[in-house]
Structure 1
Amino acid sequence: MADFLQAVFLGVLQGLTEFLPISSSAHLRFFPELFGWGDPGAAFTAVIQIGTELAVLLYFRKDIWRIAKAWTLSLFKPEYRGALDARMGWYIIVGSMPIVILGILLKDIIEKDFRNLWIIGTALIVMGLVLGFADRIGKTDRQVKQMTLRDAGLMGGAQALALIPGVSRSGATLSMGRLLGYDREAATRFAFLLAIPAVVGAGLFELKEISDVGKAHPGEADYGWGPTLTALVVSFIVGYAAIAWLLRYVSKNSYTPFVVYRVLLGTAVLVLLGAGVVNA
């Protein structure tokens, strides 16, 4: 029963934090350490990420189909090449390249060295302040239809910073979007679309780990298929709700609550590390 309760908690964490600008990797690394559960492990994480991947694919299914169709047609029919959806296809491709390339090149460093809680705590605070600064000074006079290939590349480069746990994929992308002058809703929507190749690609890349479910390595929690699939379902439900809520929220509100939360959580991580309550 304890394993199932832990799995539900971790599924909620994954579902909430994958899309909110507060870093899912930081939460999945810190809270199991704080509670003494051990690292969930690569296999468990790979499986529950499928839940949030399904959530984003389902929520944006119409956008994905429309963009994919327009982009494909534009390859053969010149009259489609100026359409926003066709251009959006190229923007997502170009914006995804930095995180894909760096993710492959730095895989071992990301999975080992970057998971140090000192790095995670610092990243939570620093990138939280960056998000707050960008949201405060950023203009709100640009929408998705005004996006350029340069902007997509810059937002993609920012997204790649999320390879460092604690940065947050959506948080980094939103920060760059606001600095470029996009309104919050436009920046958030593009951040979600830009995340699709990265999130789905990461899940597919880690599929090989799924065969290791229930085979805990030193320092990892020993979750079997039952708790793992439970966490997957929970992450899907919570993730879908988080997407819908965030898109509604940012249409009328600032990112300030997320900034405050990141700074408080990052500070707590560093204080607990310094006090010896948790290990790096």
Structure 2
Amino acid sequence: MDCKFRIYGDDRHPTLGSELPRSFSWHDLRAFRYRARHTSACPTKGLCRMDKGRLQAVAEFHGAMYINNDNLTRVAATKNAERDITSIHLAFPAVQDQSILLAMAAWLSVLRNVKDEVERLDADIAQLALTDGAAILTSSIRSRSRSPQRYGGACLNPACDPTRAWTKNFVRQLRGLVPHAVYTTVIGSVLDVWEVMLAGVVVREMSALDIGTSLGVRTRTIGFRPFFLLLQTDLALDRESVSEDEALLELGWM
């Protein structure tokens, strides 16, 4: 696999059409697992290390998120970015499209940092920060501009600034990596994640809360769906590489 990746503006990718399939089918999963097992770049069940040159190329692109949000030096930002890229590559070894790999890394970064920030804030400020972030995401769906600077801004408390910055930079990054139809679908799933985090904040505020409700919110795994929507996109971009018959053969070892 080479180090090229697509950069999108306002044009949708010509091979995807106007929208993604509604669900991630078992056939899609079998096709993905087949490709992970048999790809020539990763002969041992797809579990190979990314070569150093490719890692550096994608890490430098992804590292801009850390420079913009945390004011890190280029070296420190690239180190954090390499950690994210490596984590995504190990979790989804058969992802072949470089832009999808970067989009997954962008989501991993914003999920981790926003979640940590929300847990650090007082409950009332955390609610404001998440509501502000949701406004940014919703506004970004309505506009095809890659600049999110005019989105959101309802929270005037400086404590909201880190969450707002991560959200805006995620919008900018994702806009340039995936076509508009995919962007809209992924952002919709991110808004669902924000809603779950907001529910967790509400739980913190409630003094009299039954155990079942508390556990139901706190033990819920969040943040997976955007990854799988991007994985589905990667399969759509590379659908011809695995035939239906080959994918169906994998049913025996699922």
**TM-score tier (shorter):** 0.3 to 0.5
Higher relative contact order, structure no. (Cα contacts within 8 Å, ≥ 6 residues apart) = 1
Q: TM-score, normalised by structure 1?
A: 0.30
TM-score (norm 2): 0.32
